[in-house]
Amino acid sequence: MPDLPTCEMLVLERKYSRLYVTINRPDSRNALTAEVVAELTAVVEAVAPDRTIRTLILRGAGGTFCAGGDIKGFRASFTAPPPEPGQLDPIAVSNRTFGDFMIKFDALPQTVIGVIEGAAFGGGLGLVCVTDIAICTADTRFALSETGLGIPPAQIIPFVVRRIGQTTARRLALTGTRFKGDHAGEIGLVHYVAADSAELDATLNKVLNDIGRCAPGANAATKNIINAMRSAPLESVLDDASEAFAQCMRGDEGKEGVAAFLGKRPANWVEKVD
Amino acid sequence: MPDLPTCEMLVLERKYSRLYVTINRPDSRNALTAEVVAELTAVVEAVAPDRTIRTLILRGAGGTFCAGGDIKGFRASFTAPPPEPGQLDPIAVSNRTFGDFMIKFDALPQTVIGVIEGAAFGGGLGLVCVTDIAICTADTRFALSETGLGIPPAQIIPFVVRRIGQTTARRLALTGTRFKGDHAGEIGLVHYVAADSAELDATLNKVLNDIGRCAPGANAATKNIINAMRSAPLESVLDDASEAFAQCMRGDEGKEGVAAFLGKRPANWVEKVD
Amino acid sequence: MPDLPTCEMLVLERKYSRLYVTINRPDSRNALTAEVVAELTAVVEAVAPDRTIRTLILRGAGGTFCAGGDIKGFRASFTAPPPEPGQLDPIAVSNRTFGDFMIKFDALPQTVIGVIEGAAFGGGLGLVCVTDIAICTADTRFALSETGLGIPPAQIIPFVVRRIGQTTARRLALTGTRFKGDHAGEIGLVHYVAADSAELDATLNKVLNDIGRCAPGANAATKNIINAMRSAPLESVLDDASEAFAQCMRGDEGKEGVAAFLGKRPANWVEKVD
């Protein structure tokens, strides 16, 4: 088992091939300070090459997923000196850091589940958009609240557009309207809406058992093909996908998967939640 | 307050930062003649650089939003002489004019609301697709009716694809099927479906109050980021967005927004519908 | 009436301008062997240039649409020799063949209807994604089941992403979860969900009558514009679309369509299901 970074703001818990990552700043409703983002980035960088971790589960401590950016911290920006001519504005550089993290998180080969409760505002809503499967409680509150503060959701809205399309993204960002879990399900921001926290945990376990039946290498290859669709032409994506298919088929997973199917037995990679 | 163009086909009404634009040809159910499109284009060009206008509200007079292209006018096309070799067909040039208008309307920095009643056929359905927030009554009728007339929805279907995705766009365009408000909401063509015209107006006011809480400069910056997602790579969008973020944060809106949030008071840009 | 290929795996039935294509291997639940894909490809290539065929209806014999790839056939892959250095892996070449077929099927100028019953797994779900209009029964079972076999849905997932967006595609592919017709309708995979097979046939006839009112040349031009949106910039799509508009308007269909509309009579291309 490879090393995971030591974290002050996050709680990391490993169970078999699953890594549970909990943002643990409940006093500030898990607001995204520079420190939280730095620790999340370090975890993502450590996990990405680690084939023993198949699934990453992201949640927030204290019943709130993430209330967004650190607004008190924003105030410090005003005293930052303006950039020298020809230099990048340090406020822009700092803001861009979050986009870098989002790109890396979105590209993780592991399957990522978001478990959303309480509130997901601003950057918290952005985090939801880079999970593969998102589960929330019906009373979770969501909003793209930035423009009400006089700033654009700069590093967030591109991922919202990818997640739910530009039509709904425009409405949410230009009105800042608040909405709850059921509507989040209707617009495709989340996939499952649970009545309460007991159902939330039960849904998480069901999803984990589904993922546990999928071969980890095949899942990573599939996620890679989906990500490639964003920037490469279709023919080229299909070319690369056919080589990934051949590698999986000739590898241990392909042989085991077909043999298990024909033998009507579980494949050797199946992992159940205990 | 800058000059708005004098219009014959449109009624323009200004209230504080809001511009109400009404297509006013109820006898032809607000069909899109060349004159109507020319006046809409002139309004869009006048409004785009005007920071005192924050919101544009588009509707149709006489209980109908817009019944589409001017079919009687189409007949005149048949008598137009065919193009000289090497020349563009004047029918194509005239058709393309509508696409130019759609691009400009879609790119307005202002937040655009469509208030849809009665019917939105063909080009009228196209107009719905370039609003930021669309509200309709449940009994509004919609259709992409062009192919039933023997012509493609040439300057319209690309904006329909952007709005609701190619899957539903294919079905609507290749069947010409009629549908009503509830279905328009389900497929994401509109965002709010009102039971009747009283609820339509109440929903409009609620949306206007939401927009009134959002900083106008931040909204314009946000819309610009969303539009950039269509043609620029993600990294480049995030770079530009981080600079827009820094400008807003250092500007009057960022300072006022954060101060108002921490002071638990409304920001100075908040505008309520009276 | 041009020649259609002789098929062993497919049943072809022509009625007026409609071609009914039925995969006819009910013993294997219409699994996609290399032979089935080769015959489907031959049909698509024969139909594409044939303007007398307006609509293609795809279904499966024996109450099942298509249970996916031929898993027993996959086993033969393991004995295929690995590629020589610098050569393509024959498994990759074989896999890529399905993507070529999907591209051609997706680009058919004819309007394509999928009639889905029983099951649509893996490649069968992929076929659904390249229909223009998909109709299923409520009890149809769907799944992207590949990763459970240790392989990625390599030539399928790009078309799933196009059909239903990356958000839902990620969830379906990375969990392999099974779902039924109602959910297929909610996520936009299919357009109509019928209670039973009688309603399935009635819905098909309704859709055929809708298509029968649309001019075939205008429909082909429209489908071409929608497809162009995937790879060309908007301005260029609008330019080409304006020329397609002029050609239709000056052609027989445009004259007939406008005359029929103004004369309040059906156009001469209208075809009703008997």
- Nearest chain B Cα to C186, which residue? B186
Indicate yes or no: CB of B226 within 8 angstroms of CB of A151: no
Q: Are B254 and A167 within 8 A, CB to CB? A: no
Q: State how far the alpha carbon of C136 is from the alpha carbons of A43, B172, C207, in Å.
A: 44, 18, 13
Spell out which residues of chain C touch residue B87, defining contact as CB-CB under 8 Å. none
Instruction: Indicate whether B141 pLDDT > 60.
Output: yes
Is B237 at the interface with chain A, CB within 8 A? Answer: yes
Residue boundaries of the structural domains of chain B: 10-212, 216-262
Q: Give the Cα separation of A131 and A133 in Å (integer).
A: 5
Query: What are the chain C neighbours of A233 within 8 Å (beta carbons)?
Result: 231
CA nearest B167 in C: which residue? C163
Q: CA B54 to CA B48: how far, in whole Å?
A: 10
Instruction: Give chain A's end-to-end CA distance (angstroms, integer).
Output: 20
CA A109, chain centre distance (Å): 12
The DSSP element (H or E) to which B105 belongs, if any, is helix B90-106
Q: What percentage of chain B reaches a pLDDT higher than 90?
A: 90
Q: Each residue of A5-25: pLDDT tens digit?
A: 999 999 999 999 999 999 999
Tens of pLDDT, residue by residue over C5-21, are 999 999 999 999 999 99
Structural contact between residues B96 and C234, judged by C-beta atoms closer than 8 angstroms: no
Provide, rounded to the nearest whole percent, the portion of chain C with pLDDT above 90. Answer: 90
Q: Is C271 helix (H, G, I), strand (E, B) or coil?
A: coil
- Most B CBs within 10 A among C112, C205, C214, C229, hence the mutation to make, goes to C214
Average pLDDT over chain B, rounded to an integer: 95
Distance of alpha carbon B118 from alpha carbon B121, whole angstroms: 10
Q: Over 70: is that where the pLDDT of C1 sits?
A: no
Residue A1 has pLDDT above 60, yes or no: no
CB C47 within 8 A of CB C110: yes
Per-residue pLDDT tens over the stretch A71-98: 877 777 777 788 888 899 999 999 999 9
| HEC secondary structure over C30-60 | CCECHHHHHHHHHHHHHHCCCCCCCEEEEEE
- Residue C133 pairs with which residues in a beta bridge? C113
Name the token pair of C42: 């031959």
For domain C10-212, the question of CATH label 3.90.226.10 is answered with: yes
Does A150 lie at the interface with B, CB-CB under 8 angstroms? yes
A144, amino acid identity: L
Closest in C226, C243, C248 to B170, CB measured: C226
- Are the beta carbons of A258 and C95 separated by less than 8 Å? no
Residue B201: which residues within 8 A CB-CB, separation 6 or more? none
Res A246: pLDDT: 95
* Residue C220 pLDDT class (50, 70, 90 cuts): very high
- Residue A226, chain C, CB below 8 Å: the answer is yes
Per-residue confidence band for C235, with pLDDT thresholds at 50, 70 and 90: very high
pLDDT score recorded for residue B82: 85
Partner residue opposite C226 with nearest CB, options B71, B82, B169: B169
C230: chain A residues, CB-CB within 8 Å: 234
Q: Which residues of B touch A178 (CB under 8 A)?
A: none
Return the closest-CA partner of residue A187 out of A128, A124, A117, A123: A128
Q: Do A111 and C176 touch (CB under 8 A)?
A: no
pLDDT number for residue C154: 97
d(CA A138, CA A118): 9
Render pLDDT for A179-190 as a digit per residue (tens, 0 to 9).
999 999 999 999
| pLDDT tens digits for range B43-101 | 999 999 999 999 999 999 999 999 998 887 777 777 778 888 889 999 999 999 999 99
> Which residues of chain B does C238 touch, with a Cβ-Cβ cutoff of 8 Å?
96, 99, 103, 154-155, 158
Tell me what pLDDT residue A196 has: 97
Rounded to an integer, the average pLDDT of B258-265 is 93
C152, A222: Cβ pair inside 8 Å? yes
- Tens of pLDDT, residue by residue over B217-244, are 999 999 999 999 998 999 999 999 999 9
Structural contact between residues A53 and A19, judged by C-beta atoms closer than 8 angstroms: yes
- B74 in reach of chain C (CB within 8 A): yes
The pLDDT of residue B2: 61
Q: Is residue A29 within 8 angstroms of chain C, CB to CB?
A: no
Chain A positions in Cβ-Cβ contact with residue B261 (cut-off 8 Å): 71, 148-149
Are B238 and A165 inside 8 Å of each other by CB? no
Please tell me the distance in Å from B107's CA to the nearest CA on chain C. 13
3-state SS, chain A, equals CCCCCCCCCEEEEEECCEEEEEECCHHHCCCECHHHHHHHHHHHHHHCCCCCCCEEEEEEHHHCCECCECHHHHHHHCCCCCCCCCCCCHHHHHHHHHHHHHHHHHCCCCEEEEEECCEEECHHHHHHHCCCEEEEECCCEEECCHHHHCCCCCCCHHHHHHHHHHHHHHHHHHHCCCEEHHHHHHCCCCCEEECCHHHHHHHHHHHHHHHHHCCHHHHHHHHHHHHHCCCCCHHHHHHHHHHHHHHHHHCHHHHHHHHHHHCCCCCCCCCCCC
Is residue A86 within 8 angstroms of chain B, CB to CB? Answer: no
Residue C161, amino acid: V
Dist CA A190 CA A139 (whole Å):
13
B242 to chain A, any CB pair closer than 8 A? The answer is yes
Phi first, then psi: give them for residue C143, nearest 5 degrees: -165, 145
Helices and strands counted in chain B (H then E): 10, 9
Q: Does residue A57 contact residue A18 with C-beta atoms inside 8 Å?
A: yes
Residue C92 is nearest to which of A188, A191, A243, comparing CB atoms? A243
Over residues C245-268, the mean pLDDT reads 94
pLDDT in tens, A125-144: 999 999 999 999 999 999 99
Mean pLDDT, residues C187-204 = 97
> HSE of B39 in the Cβ direction (CA atoms, 13 Å)?
18
Question: What is residue B86's predicted lDDT score, i.e. its pLDDT?
Answer: 87
Strand partners, C120: C66, C142
Q: Is A78 on the interface with B (CB under 8 A)?
A: yes
pLDDT category at A2 given cuts 50, 70, 90 is low
User: Which pLDDT does position C76 carry in this prediction?
Assistant: 75
Residues of chain A found within 8 Å of residue C78, distances taken between Cβ atoms: 249-250, 254-255, 258
pLDDT, residue C17, reads: 96
Determine whether the interchain pair B253/A151 forms a contact, defined as Cβ–Cβ distance below 8 Å: yes
Closest CA relative to residue C133, chosen from B167, A64, B21, A236: B167
Q: Do C226 and B89 touch (CB under 8 A)?
A: no
Report the C-alpha gap between C171 and A192 in whole angstroms: 11
pLDDT band at C2 (very low <50, low <70, confident <90, very high): low
A259: CB partners within 8 A, 6+ apart: none
Contacts of C270 (CB under 8 A, 6+ apart): C212, C213
What residue in B sits closest to C250 (Cα-Cα)?
B78
Instruction: Supply the ipTM of this predicted assembly.
Output: 0.95
Q: Which residues contact A113 (CB under 8 A, 6 or more apart)?
A: A55, A56, A57, A58, A131, A132, A133, A134, A135, A204, A207, A208, A211
- Look at residue B73 in the predicted model and tell me its pLDDT: 76
Residue C67 has a pLDDT of 95
Q: In chain A, which residues have their Cβ closer than 8 Å to the Cβ of C168?
A: 188, 191
When mean pLDDT is compared across A41-55, A158-172, C66-80, the lowest value belongs to: C66-80
Ramachandran angles phi, psi of A257, nearest 5°: -65, -45
Three-state secondary structure call for residue C65: coil
Contact B223, A169 (CB under 8 A): no
Per-residue pLDDT, B70: 83
Distance CA B174, CA B152 (A): 9
- pTM (two decimals): 0.96
B249 vs A151, A157, A166: nearest CB: A151
Residue range C78-92: average pLDDT?
87
Q: What is the nearest CA distance from C211 to chain B, expressed in angstroms?
A: 5
Q: Do B75 and C258 touch (CB under 8 A)?
A: yes
Q: Grade residue A110 by pLDDT with cuts at 50, 70 and 90.
A: very high
Q: Do C111 and B230 touch (CB under 8 A)?
A: no
B37 three-class SS:
helix
